[in-house]
């Protein structure tokens, strides 16, 4: 368990789990102690222990790829509700709630807004922390490019459109981007490179 980000209202803990080094984040409201887990990827024993220690109340999934959902059954069995976009729901082993675009998830006094960003998968979601420059980008946006679309459900033109219109057009440049794998980045760092990503085709 590692504290990854903190401000006056929120703290974010990061875990790296599984064979694909997935980032799992826990967003915690400092005022109430309530928390949300983003992507129940793997290593369910570690995640269950962390959920109990950090006050996790529920789970949201950025998308349905197998490496992001391995711990879902164990967390549901332990009583945590799991939410996912409808377009990816069939990819999960199980789930409880469906999330719509622009839907708000309340985490204590924090508000997290779901942003539909299809392309990596049809139901890919990013989650923006309202009132703070923080985005959980799943596998939509990484340092140096868009997430892979080299799968049956991926579409490169769609993911570029999602990044341009759903992220770049609405989020401030200083937004900290926390992806599903690897290091953080910012909107400002990635914004100038969209055209070169389009030109290279990945």
At 197, list the tokens.
């990503």
Question: CB atoms < 10 A from the CB of 174, how many?
Answer: 9
pLDDT for residue 179: 98
Provide the pLDDT for residue 67.
Answer: 97
If you average pLDDT over residues 28-51, what whole number do you get? 98
**Confidence band for 149, pLDDT divided at 50, 70 and 90:** very high
With beta carbons less than 8 A apart as the criterion, state whether 150 and 165 touch. Answer: no
Distances (CA, A) of 40 to 50, 61, 73, 75, 117: 12, 7, 9, 8, 19
pLDDT over 90 at 163, yes or no = yes
CA distance 75 to 137: 22
35 in Cβ contact with 56 (< 8 Å): yes
What is the number of other CB atoms lying within 10 angstroms of the CB of residue 61?
28
pLDDT value of position 187:
98
At 85-122, the pLDDT tens digits run 999 999 999 999 999 999 999 999 999 999 999 999 99
Confidence of residue 1 (pLDDT cuts 50, 70, 90): low
pLDDT bin (cut points 50, 70, 90) of residue 194 is: very high
Would you say the C-alpha torsion 6, 84, 57, 49 has a positive or negative sign?
A: negative
Distance CA 50, CA 10 (A): 17
% pLDDT > 90, the chain: 99
pLDDT for 129: 98
39 φψ region: left (φ > 0), alpha (ψ -120 to 50), beta (else): left
Q: Write phi, then psi, for 51 (nearest 5 degrees).
A: -60, -45
Range of the structural domain that residue 72 is part of:
2-200
| The total number of structural domains that make up the chain | 1
Residue 113 corresponds to which tokens in the numbers above? 């807004």
**CATH code assigned at 147:** 3.60.15.10
């Amino acid at each position: 368990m590692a504290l990854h980000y903190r401000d006056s209202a929120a703290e974010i803990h990061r875990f790296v789990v599984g064979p694909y080094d997935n980032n799992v984040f826990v967003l915690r409201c400092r005022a109430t102690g309530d928390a949300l887990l983003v992507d129940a990827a793997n290593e369910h024993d570690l995640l269950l222990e962390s959920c109990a220690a950090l006050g996790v109340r529920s789970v949201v999934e950025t998308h349905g790829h197998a490496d992001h959902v391995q711990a879902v059954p164990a967390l549901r069995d332990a009583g945590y509700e799991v939410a996912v976009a409808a377009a990816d729901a069939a990819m999960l082993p199980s789930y409880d709630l469906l999330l719509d675009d622009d839907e708000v998830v309340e985490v204590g006094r924090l508000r997290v807004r779901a942003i539909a960003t299809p392309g990596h998968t049809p139901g890919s979601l990013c989650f923006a922390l309202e009132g703070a420059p923080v985005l959980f980008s799943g596998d939509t946006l990484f340092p140096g490019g868009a997430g892979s679309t080299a799968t049956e459900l991926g579409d490169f033109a769609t993911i570029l459109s999602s990044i341009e219109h759903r992220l770049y057009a609405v989020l401030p440049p200083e937004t900290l981007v926390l992806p599903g794998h690897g290091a953080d980045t910012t909107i400002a760092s990635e914004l100038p490179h969209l055209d070169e990503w389009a030109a290279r085709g990945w």
